[in-house]
Structure 1
Amino acid sequence: MKLFKLNAEVRQDLGKGASRRLRLTNDFVPGIIYGADKAPTPVMVDKPSLYKAVDDEAFYSSIITLNVAGKEEKVVIRDLQRHPFKPLLTHIDFLRIDLTQKLTMNVPLHITGQEACVGVKDQDGVLHVMATDIEISCLPTALPEYLELDVSALEVGHTLHLSDITLPEGSESVALSHGADHDSAVVNVTRPNIAAAEEDAAAGEGEEAAAE
């Protein structure tokens, strides 16, 4: 697992106006730390290191060491707010973690074996990916950077579900913890004509809705 470290300072000047002024300095991004039965702590995070970290997919599903005025806290990202049309981060929420308690996180799903997929390569099918991340529950020390699902053997007309994803030991799918009827489809391969028909039907429904 990659190690991410960020520096931050406690924010004394609070409110929307203060946050706006802070962002204009180009040095910090306003944020807050909460959880672990402690009072929320408003912080301002070092902007250059944060902007570098957010470009890494693993950042969003990793334990982050946040150095706040010389004191380290173990946190994960709970929310990251961006400007509606400018490439700017406007606020970040961190959740404190307890290494002995399970946490729930959305972990990226990497689909592997696409180029070798039987249904696409040999049967002229179309691959459809219905999920890009999976919500899991595990101890922080078992949190993976990402999960993998190999589709190389997937044939036309077949589907892989949540239950087909191998999870790290001690981890569980949040959806599957609610029962087998929550075993959602993750990826499938269909024949091109079926895929085209579905797209045409969706387009027709959109046109009807617009006409109404």
Structure 2
Amino acid sequence: MSAIKPLEAVARDRVGKGAARAVRRQGNVPAVIYGGGKDPQAIAIDLIRTRTLIYAGGFKTTVFEIDAGGKKTRAIPRDFQLDPVSGVPLHVDFLRIVAGQTVTVEVPVHFEHEDAAPGIKKMGGTLNISKHTLELEVAPDQIPDAIVVDLTGREIGDAIHVSDIKIPAGTYTGEPTDSIANIVPPTVLGAEVEAEEAAIAEAQSTEAAEEKAEEEAETSDKGDEKKSDDKE
């Protein structure tokens, strides 16, 4: 289970776009803690710390103990915004943790023991993953770091469904029959890749031919203009 992480913050008195811009100019990220039957609390958190946490992975499945001026609040990130160009964090929304409540989170799926899967190791099959995360409804202090799928003994043609694996805690929000992955013959994905590469090559060839035709037409037009000028 993910450990609770401390997070230093500063309480904010002002909110709004102007106040948020001022916070960012100071090297911080504006954030809000909401939920739990209490009024929203506006805070600011360090930009470098926030960026590190987000890009390290698992940010939205981690419970933080946020210390804003000595007032500590346990909360989990619900959403965050990044600058579309620079990727710098612009805003974070936190949800207060209340005793007895559950939260809905996306937990990553990890696959292990590929070497022990005959369909992959011996037959050259490929693991085709359809779900990289599973959405769970779980108590905040029971959020798994990951859901592990053991591939030992898996053969080509085997399909792995949610019902085939053990979920450490919480309840999966989808159906037990939902597919997580399957092992396909090496020629299946190979044929798809070859078809895609052929389509790309054909498109590039067509585009090149069109460009060449346009260039020849422009050259021809210029030649006709020059002949006309010479006659004059």
Helix, strand or coil: the match of 1:7? strand
Structure 1 Cα separation of the partners of residues 199 and 180 of structure 2: 24
Q: Which contiguous aligned blocks of 4+ residues in structure 1 show a shift greater than 4 angstroms?
A: 199-208
Count of matched residue positions in the alignment of Structure 1 and Structure 2: 202
The correspondence for 2:178, drawn from 174, 184, 188, is 184
Q: Which moves more between the two structures, 70-79 or 37-46?
A: 37-46
**Identity of aligned pairs, percent?**
28
Give the superposed CA RMSD.
2.4
Deviations 1:129-176 (A, max 9, x none): 12221111122222212111111322111110112221125x211113
Match of 1:19 in 2: 20
Say if 2:50 is the partner of 1:74. Answer: no
Match of 2:29 in 1: 29
Deviations 1:55-106 (A, max 9, x none): 4334331211111221111111101211112131111110112131122111
Match of 1:6 in 2: 7
Helix, strand or coil: the match of 1:115? helix
1:153-192 to 2 correspondences below 5 Å = 153-169=153-169, 171-176=170-175, 180=176, 183-192=177-186
Deviations 1:111-144 (A, max 9, x none): 1112332211111111111222111112222221
Helix, strand or coil: the match of 2:49? helix
Match of 2:96 in 1: 96
| C-alpha contact 2:30 2:43 (8 A) present in aligned 1 | yes
| C-alpha contact 1:99 1:140 (8 A) present in aligned 2 | no
Segments of 5+ residues of structure 1 without an aligned counterpart are: none
| C-alpha contact 1:4 1:53 (8 A) present in aligned 2 | no
Match of 2:216 in 1: none
Match of 1:193 in 2: 187
Helix, strand or coil: the match of 1:57? coil
2:174 aligned partner, one-letter code: A
Q: Which has the higher helix share?
A: 2
TM-score for both structures, normalised by structure 2: 0.78
Segments of 5+ residues of structure 2 without an aligned counterpart are: 204-232
Say if 1:24 and 1:196 are closer, same or farther in 2 by CA, change over 3 A: same
